[in-house]
Structures are given as C-alpha cells and as structure tokens.
C-alpha cells in the first residue's frame, strides 16, 4: 500500500501594490485570500494471483508466476518425507521422464520363449503311441472341445509406471521453469535436508550454456534426512535475494522452529523481500507458509 497526496491550490484573490507615475502618489492595496484544498488518495496494489499449473501462458512454478523475476532463490525441501508418493492435486501433474530416458526407442514386444535346441544325431523317433480308446458308452465321433491356445501363450499384462513421488513432481516442475526462464535471469537453487546444497555460493546469470547444468543439479537431488528449514531460509536471505520461492512438505526440525523462521523473515520483509510458498502433502506447515507469503506480498499455494 503506497500512500500519495495530491495538493491543489486555488488562488481566489491577487495581492499587490501598484505605484502610479506622477503626478500624485496614489497607493492601491488589494487584500489577498488564499484557500488550500488537500486531498489524500490511497492506492492499494492488487495482490498477486496464481496461474494455471499446466499450459500457463507465463513461466510459473506450481502456479506461482515468475515473469520478470530477478535475484530469486528457489528453496526446496529435500528431506526424507519428500520420497513419499504424491497425492491429490500434486499427483495429477504430469511428470516427464528425465532426458536420459526420453529416447525414441520402439515399445518392447513379446514373443514366446524359444524351445529347446534341436537334438543332434538323435536316432529316429519311435512312432507315437496309439490314441487311447474311447471309454465305454462315449461317442467316438464327437469332436474334442477346442483348446484355447492363446491362454497359454499370452504374456502377462505390463505393469504401469509407478506413481510419482513428491520429489519427482517438484524436480520436474522446477526443471520446466528453468527451461522457460529467459536468459539473463539472476537466480540460484538451494536444496535442504539435514544439510544445505546450493547450486552456487551466489547468484548466477542464466545462459544457454549453464541452463542444462542447473537442471541436472535439480534432478540429481535425493530425498533423505531431516528438515533444516531455518538455516535454508537464512542462507537464501544472506544471498541478498529479492525474492524467495520456498517449497516444503513438513515442519522445520533442525536449526530453529517456525517462530524463529518467521522472525528472521520479518527482518528481510522490512527490506522489501517477497516470499512465495508452496506447501505439499498433509503435513505441511500451513500456518507458517501462509504467514510468510501474506506478510511479504507473495503467494501461498497449498497442494
């Protein structure tokens, strides 16, 4: 909210003293009345609005628009709980396979296993034994029931792809955002569990050569351990970030609690930082994530 004032002045009268030339000394005095009207208008900035998480016209991360973002740090939870299966809206997001698996290989086809190799130098086989005679009372001219040969050779139904994990969806979403962010964007990526793993010690300028390397860094992160949310947020703030995009699925349990995270964030918010938050799963700290976004003018996406 940015107040501004519009001051309008209305001049009602004119005040001056005029001296006429000779002959005579005549003084003319006019009284002046000044009226000042002041009007104060308050302009409220519209809150940010989430966009579609699929096929959005702008670059987004879980519906958080990133258009024009600079000096932004993506802070992603990589604790052990991120290995759990995605559920709800999160599981509905398409997760493309890693680039190493995106090959134009034909689908595997099934063929029956080969029979035993032909015997070598075997003696002539003896004639097959005569067919057993029909049991008494049976009709020898009746045809035998057909044999369903397909039932004996049909392959087992192929298993479908396993459902994605939370970390799989998070990695795919961030990789897609990094693919679409324009060259020249200043950014960094920070994963946290019991330790912090940043792509670089400071901001990097995104270019075509470094884009693939940053995406590889994102996809190589493995979920394990606890949740050092407090140290991760402090590290992102010390990078002089203008914007933090935080994703977490649980409670910070290493290096500070929710109260300390919010206290540190409020210091940075007074300096103008914006914090967008994405909470996934049933165990997300919605109170903390909502407060971080609301107080900084960011977005909170609960998935």
Q: What is the pLDDT of residues 114-173, one digit of tens each?
A: 556 555 555 555 566 665 555 556 565 656 566 555 555 666 666 667 789 999 999 999
Task: Give one DSSP letter per residue of 178-201, joined into a string.
Answer: HHHSPTT-EEEEEEESSSEEESSS
- For residues 190 and 41, give the distance between their C-alpha atoms in angstroms, rounded to a whole number: 42
Confidence of residue 215 (pLDDT cuts 50, 70, 90): very high
What's the mean pLDDT in 26-36?
Answer: 53
Asked if pLDDT for residue 276 goes beyond 60, the answer is yes
Residue 231: predicted pLDDT: 98
Beta bridge partners of 76: 191, 247
Asked if pLDDT for residue 259 goes beyond 90, the answer is yes
Asked if pLDDT for residue 77 goes beyond 70, the answer is yes
User: What is the gyration radius of the CA atoms in the chain, in angstroms?
Assistant: 37
Beta bridge partners of 244: 73, 275
C-alpha angle 234-239-245 in degrees, rounded to nearest 5: 70
Nearest to 276 by CA among 236, 252, 243: 243
pTM for the full model? 0.68
- For residues 122 and 10, give the distance between their C-alpha atoms in angstroms, rounded to a whole number: 122
- For residues 227 and 255, give the distance between their C-alpha atoms in angstroms, rounded to a whole number: 9
């Amino acid at each position: 909210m940015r107040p501004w004032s519009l001051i309008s002045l209305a001049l009602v009268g004119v005040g001056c003293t005029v001296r006429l030339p000779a002959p005579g000394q005549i003084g003319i005095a006019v009284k002046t009345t000044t009226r000042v009207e002041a009007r104060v208008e308050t302009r409220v900035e519209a809150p940010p609005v989430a966009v579609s998480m699929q096929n959005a016209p702008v670059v987004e991360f879980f519906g958080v628009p990133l258009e024009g973002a600079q000096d932004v740090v993506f802070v992603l939870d990589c604790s052990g709980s991120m290995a759990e299966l995605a559920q709800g809206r999160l599981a509905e997001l398409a997760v493309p396979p890693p680039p190493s698996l995106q090959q134009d290989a034909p689908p595997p086809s099934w063929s029956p296993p080969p029979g035993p190799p032909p015997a070598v130098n075997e003696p002539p086989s003896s004639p097959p034994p005569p067919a057993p005679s029909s049991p008494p009372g049976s009709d020898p001219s009746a045809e035998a029931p057909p044999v369903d040969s397909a039932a004996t050779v049909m392959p087992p139904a192929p298993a479908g792809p396993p459902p994605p994990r939370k970390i799989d969806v998070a990695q795919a979403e961030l990789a897609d955002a990094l693919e679409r962010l324009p060259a020249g964007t200043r950014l960094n990526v920070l994963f946290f569990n019991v330790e912090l793993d940043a792509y670089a010690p400071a901001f990097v300028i995104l270019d075509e050569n470094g884009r693939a390397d940053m995406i590889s860094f994102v996809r190589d992160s493995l979920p394990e351990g606890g949740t050092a949310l407090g140290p991760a947020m402090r590290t992102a703030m010390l990078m002089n970030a203008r914007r933090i995009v935080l994703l977490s699925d649980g409670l910070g349990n290493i290096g500070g609690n929710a109260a300390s995270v919010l206290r540190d964030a409020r210091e940075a918010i007074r300096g103008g930082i914006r914090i967008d938050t994405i909470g996934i799963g049933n165990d997300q700290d919605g109170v903390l994530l909502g407060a971080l976004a609301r107080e900084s003018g960011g977005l909170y996406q609960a998935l």
